[in-house]
Amino acid sequence: MNVLLTGGTGFIGQALSNYLSEHNYYVYILTRSPQKHTNTNGVTFIGYDHPAEQLPPMKAVINLAGESLFGYWTKTKKEAIFSSRIQITEKIVTFIEKLPKLPEVFISGSAVGYYGTSNDLMFSENTTTPGEDFLAKVATKWENIAKKAEKSGIRIVFTRFGVVLGHGGALPMMRLPVQLGVGGKIGSGEQWISWVHIEDAVRLITFCMENTAISGAVNITAPHPKQNKVFMRTLAKVLKRPYWLPVPSLFMYAALGEMAELITKGQYVIPKKALDHSFSFSFPYLEEALRQLHHSFDE
């Protein structure tokens, strides 16, 4: 079976591509620079100008592309975060319409940022009112563009990612101060981190692809979120380093601009739809997830 993937060279996309290839899927990765990549027995890189009509039937189209959230959030950076997701998703919706056979499902990326931030509220896919901050507006617009594919009659899934823990993404940044012996809570430490192990993230995406009963928003998070202070204390325990030096919020804003909100604010998100459909998490608890990743960092 064939899968068309955008964002296949990114942190989550690479892991998903590898996982699908290992599970008897053939992956076509849609990228702006296919010439920079080498095809393998399980993966072919194609450009956005590749004629959709010449592709074989696709079981699924999975859209994970977009400007990285990491980096100082200047006005230009924020515009790139927003416009990249909207423009690529619009291209994908058009591309789908030109395929010789419609895919069974269109899975389009989103984020738990859709819900906005709160230290008190609990969010699930039943929460239908988005937040009002920048990331909530990005996620809302991103999902609305992807919904345009509904007119083709295909099933649509919006994968709302939490903090994905792996060798990329946020974890290496979070590990560094702890490894240096200056780990501690960030800001108040009360903010929730809705996290998920990269292995569970790619397994849950695949689960959504294969389970025809799943549609709409799906939270890609583990079932047990943790407050920042607990997360950082657990990370220090796993790394066998001290946990003692708090990092003030003002320092984070000075270093990262508005991006600091990703770290100093959060939301408690439950993967209700995954649990309702009996998805089995390999790493439902934080400490075991961090221990597995710690060993893999050392390999």
61-87 pLDDT, tens digit per residue, is 999 999 999 889 999 999 999 999 999
What is the rounded average pLDDT of the residues 197-211? 98
pLDDT per residue over 130-168, tens digit each?
Answer: 999 999 999 999 999 999 999 989 999 999 999 999 999
Q: How many domains does the chain have?
A: 1
Question: What CATH number did the domain enclosing 89 receive?
Answer: 3.40.50.720
In a 13 Å sphere around the CA of 245, the CA atoms on its Cβ side amount to 10
Query: Does residue 16 register a pLDDT over 80?
Result: yes
The sign of the torsion formed by the CA atoms of 243, 249, 250, 255 equals positive
Mean pLDDT score across all residues of the chain: 95
Provide the percentage of residues in the chain whose pLDDT is more than 70: 99
Provide the percentage of residues in the chain whose pLDDT is more than 90: 89
Find the domain containing 137 and state its range: 2-298
| Tokens, residue 249 | 């919020």
What pLDDT shows up at residue 299? 58
In whole angstroms, what is the distance from residue 231 CA to residue 212 CA?
Answer: 35
Query: Does residue 95 register a pLDDT over 80?
Result: yes
**Cβ atoms of 227 and 189 closer than 8 Å:** yes
In whole angstroms, what is the distance from residue 208 CA to residue 220 CA?
Answer: 10
At 255, the pLDDT band (50, 70, 90 cuts) reads confident
Tell me 114's DSSP state: G
CA-CA-CA-CA torsion for 139, 143, 11, 51, nearest 10 degrees? -140
| Tokens, residue 45 | 């890189």
In whole angstroms, what is the distance from residue 191 CA to residue 258 CA?
Answer: 16
| Tokens, residue 13 | 């996309």
Query: Does residue 282 register a pLDDT over 90?
Result: yes
What pLDDT shows up at residue 135? 96
In whole angstroms, what is the distance from residue 235 CA to residue 184 CA?
Answer: 10
Query: Does residue 129 register a pLDDT over 90?
Result: yes
Nearest to 63 by CA among 92, 84, 86, 90: 92
**Cβ atoms of 168 and 212 closer than 8 Å:** no
What is the rounded average pLDDT of the residues 32-55? 94
Provide the terminal-to-terminal Cα distance of the chain, rounded to the nearest Å.
32
